[in-house]
């Protein structure tokens, strides 16, 4: 099927139109040139001077987790612990069995910043197990029933995590005890959640993503891979996915590699990406591993999830199969650990594309090392909304200045943007706005303005750079003949409007492989 998309303003191009044939772009040019190639079977779509960019690419999120989040109790924008409990209570009144999973609160926005406790959740229900996950996904509060079902008592401990039995607090690896008790969902539910999340991404103009799913809602890499591959094969996956492969044990990674999976394996809509390692916690929950104590909690330096040797075991194993590693590193102590490991495996120029996910607390010497090793960077400008306010409370002024160094990274290494959804709502336009302003839309706090991107750079961080991080820059990230027909149509030209208007810009249409998957 041929379609002529005419009268557009195309980002970074003189062209005003393009012709697609099935899933590819076959010609770009002026509206007249493109219409000249149309025949009687060509569908003509007049874009009325709308703005067209390559489809947005979110380079780090959790699709299955986002689907599960959309399916559970959503706690975004809760203003008090009472409101949080009320939202959970409303859900508890409508269900009679199974777990209640609530996620997305941030106590920094409460009138009084408190963490929900076991006692509070017991008041909501003593019969239904309840788990409440903070927006960052690194800490959780549970009720007594949840701990009972997970087999947790006063003496339970967990490596790489912390349990406060009295208050029902679970940190880092302790979450997996509770998640293990949720019970596994079946294949159909998993597929439904993935499609629910993909629909959500399309709504924000996103056509591709790098997604980390193997240990989030089902701890079964094979089942997750099968779900994606079946959806892709059936033509039901409306976002292209590069899987950031996280594993529970080196044995799991070994059996994955043993079955012939490694980076690049897959098809048009689902491909295996790099090995993903979560090496510390979050800044909000003060579980990110720091060199210095958190100023408001003397003696507290956060949590390193892996021993050096364990991290090394994973990375070495994957490296033998040409599978690069990308590591979640938020605190500077974690980044030291990751850089030390990488130094053993990354070849000059980093041809395999090893990378750092989040890139938040970084010292100047570490930034220089990242540049020297040419490491890929996966950052999330959407974090500015929550973190601009807390950064000055977490690190000293000098370190705050050089942290979240988006501009420096963008100019020196391959750096792409993303949402880490469901940690944030995967609103790419808001992400572009925050990369350009570094000013929180919720609190008005700003981060070092020297690290702001231009609008063009911010769009590139969501398009062409994302395509490169997926290893698919020959097919994605540009409106050009030969490329896949993935693009996003907006009502305003982001490069020509006052920055504030980016927030009110509307996604009119999202197109994947020539098919309209959102809008009309």
Stretch that binds Zn ion, among 10-18, 414-422, 463-471, 483-491 (CB under 5 A): 414-422
What is the C-alpha to C-alpha distance for residues 66 and 480, in angstroms, rounded to an integer?
Answer: 32
How wide is the angle at C-alpha 483 spanned by C-alphas 480 and 489, nearest 5°?
70
Contact 471, 395 (CB under 8 A): no
Stretch that binds Zn ion, among 8-16, 112-120, 214-222, 413-421 (CB under 5 A): 413-421
Q: In the complex with Zn ion, which residue's Cβ is closer, 147 or 218?
A: 218
| Nearest partner of 383 among 481, 302, 253, 282, judged by Cα | 282
State the DSSP string of 141-191: EE-HHHHHHTT--TT---TTEEEETTTTEEEETHHHHHHHHT-PPPHHHHH
CB of residue 21 to Zn ion, shortest distance in Å: 37
Mark 292-331 with x for binding to Zn ion (rule: CB under 5 A) and - for no binding: ----------------------------------------
CB of residue 420 to Zn ion, shortest distance in Å: 4
Residue 213 near Zn ion by CB under 5 A? no
Contact 360, 403 (CB under 8 A): yes
Q: In the complex with Zn ion, which residue's Cβ is closer, 277 or 399?
A: 277
Q: In the complex with Zn ion, which residue's Cβ is closer, 66 or 146?
A: 66
What is the C-alpha to C-alpha distance for residues 100 and 124, in angstroms, rounded to an integer?
Answer: 11
CB of residue 302 to Zn ion, shortest distance in Å: 17
CB of residue 213 to Zn ion, shortest distance in Å: 10
CB of residue 172 to Zn ion, shortest distance in Å: 13
Stretch that binds Zn ion, among 89-97, 245-253, 419-427, 432-440 (CB under 5 A): 419-427
Stretch that binds Zn ion, among 36-44, 198-206, 235-243, 418-426 (CB under 5 A): 418-426
Stretch that binds Zn ion, among 161-169, 417-425, 445-453, 484-492 (CB under 5 A): 417-425
CB of residue 212 to Zn ion, shortest distance in Å: 5
How wide is the angle at C-alpha 503 spanned by C-alphas 420 and 109, nearest 5°?
60
Sign for the CA dihedral angle at 446, 450, 429, 476 comes to negative
CB of residue 454 to Zn ion, shortest distance in Å: 27
Helices 221-233 and 187-203: crossing angle in degrees, nearest 10, is 60
Question: What residues are paired with 406 via a beta bridge?
Answer: none
Contact 172, 281 (CB under 8 A): yes
Q: In the complex with Zn ion, which residue's Cβ is closer, 9 or 420?
A: 420
Run of H or E including 240: strand 240-245
CB of residue 418 to Zn ion, shortest distance in Å: 9
In 3-state terms the chain splits into helix, strand, coil percentages (rounded to 5) of 35, 20, 40
Site for Zn ion in 181-210 (CB under 5 A): none
How many positions of this chain bind Zn ion (CB under 5 A)? 1
Residue 420 near Zn ion by CB under 5 A? yes
What is the C-alpha to C-alpha distance for residues 362 and 360, in angstroms, rounded to an integer?
Answer: 6
Stretch that binds Zn ion, among 71-79, 86-94, 310-318, 415-423 (CB under 5 A): 415-423
Starting at the earlier edge strand, list the strands of the sheet with 17-21.
Answer: 24-29, 17-21, 2-6, 43-46
CB of residue 67 to Zn ion, shortest distance in Å: 15
CB of residue 354 to Zn ion, shortest distance in Å: 17
Q: In the complex with Zn ion, which residue's Cβ is closer, 286 or 420?
A: 420
How wide is the angle at C-alpha 321 spanned by C-alphas 319 and 326, nearest 5°?
45
What is the C-alpha to C-alpha distance for residues 323 and 243, in angstroms, rounded to an integer?
Answer: 12
Residue 280 near Zn ion by CB under 5 A? no
Q: In the complex with Zn ion, which residue's Cβ is closer, 172 or 420?
A: 420
**Which residue of this chain has its Cβ atom nearest to Zn ion in the complex?**
420
Please state whether beta strands 376-379 and 9-10 pair in parallel, antiparallel, or not at all (unpaired).
unpaired
Q: In the complex with Zn ion, which residue's Cβ is closer, 420 or 427?
A: 420
Q: Which residues bind Zn ion (CB under 5 A)?
A: 420
């Amino acid at each position: 099927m041929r379609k002529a998309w005419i009268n557009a303003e195309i980002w970074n191009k003189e062209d005003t139109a393009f012709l697609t044939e099935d899933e590819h772009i076959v010609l770009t040019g002026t509206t007249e040139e493109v219409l000249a190639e149309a025949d009687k079977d060509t569908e003509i779509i007049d874009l009325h001077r709308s703005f067209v960019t390559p489809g947005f690419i979110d380079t780090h999120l959790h699709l299955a987790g986002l689907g599960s989040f959309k399916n559970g109790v959503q706690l975004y924008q809760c203003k008090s612990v009472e409101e949080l409990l009320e939202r959970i209570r409303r859900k508890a009144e409508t269900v009679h069995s199974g777990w209640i999973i609530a996620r997305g609160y941030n106590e920094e926005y409460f009138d009084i910043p408190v963490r929900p406790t076991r006692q509070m959740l017991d008041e909501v229900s003593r019969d239904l197990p309840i788990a409440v996950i903070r927006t960052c996904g690194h800490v959780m509060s549970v009720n007594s029933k949840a701990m009972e079902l997970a087999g947790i008592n006063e003496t339970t401990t967990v490596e790489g995590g912390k349990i406060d039995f009295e208050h029902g607090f679970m940190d880092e690896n302790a979450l997996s005890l509770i998640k293990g008790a949720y019970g596994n969902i079946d294949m159909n539910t998993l597929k439904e959640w993935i499609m629910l999340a993909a629909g959500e991404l399309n709504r924000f103009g996103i056509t591709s993503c790098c997604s980390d799913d193997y240990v989030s809602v089902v701890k079964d890499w094979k089942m997750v891979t099968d779900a994606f591959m079946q959806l892709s094969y059936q033509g039901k996956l409306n976002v292209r996915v590069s899987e950031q492969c996280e594993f529970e044990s080196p044995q799991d990674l070994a059996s994955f590699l043993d079955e012939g999976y490694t980076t690049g394996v897959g098809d048009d809509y689902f491909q295996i990406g790099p090995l993903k390692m979560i090496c510390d916690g979050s800044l909000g929950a003060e579980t990110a591993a720091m060199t210095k104590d958190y100023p408001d909690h003397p003696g507290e330096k956060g949590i390193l999830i892996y021993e050096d040797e364990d991290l090394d075991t994973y990375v070495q194993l994957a490296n033998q199969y040409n599978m690069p590693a990308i590591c979640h590193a938020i605190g500077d102590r974690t980044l030291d650990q990751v850089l030390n490991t990488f130094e053993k495996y990354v070849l000059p120029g980093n041809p395999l594309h090893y990378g750092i996910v989040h890139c938040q607390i970084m010292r100047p010497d570490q930034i220089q090392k990242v540049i020297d090793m040419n490491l890929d960077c996966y950052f999330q400008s959407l974090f500015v909304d929550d973190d601009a306010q807390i950064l000055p409370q977490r690190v000293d002024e000098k370190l705050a200045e050089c942290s979240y160094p988006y501009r420096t990274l963008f100019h020196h290494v391959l750096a792409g943007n993303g949402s880490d959804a469901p940690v944030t709502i995967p609103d790419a336009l808001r992400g572009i706005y925050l990369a350009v302003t570094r000013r929180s839309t919720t609190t008005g706090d700003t981060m070092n303005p020297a690290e702001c991107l231009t609008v063009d750079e911010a769009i590139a961080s969501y398009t062409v750079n994302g395509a490169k991080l997926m290893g698919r820059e020959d097919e994605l990230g540009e409106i050009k003949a030969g490329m896949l027909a993935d693009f996003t149509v907006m009502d305003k030209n982001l490069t020509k409007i006052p920055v504030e208007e980016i927030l009110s810009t509307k996604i009119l249409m999202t197109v994947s492989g020539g098919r309209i998957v959102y809008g009309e």
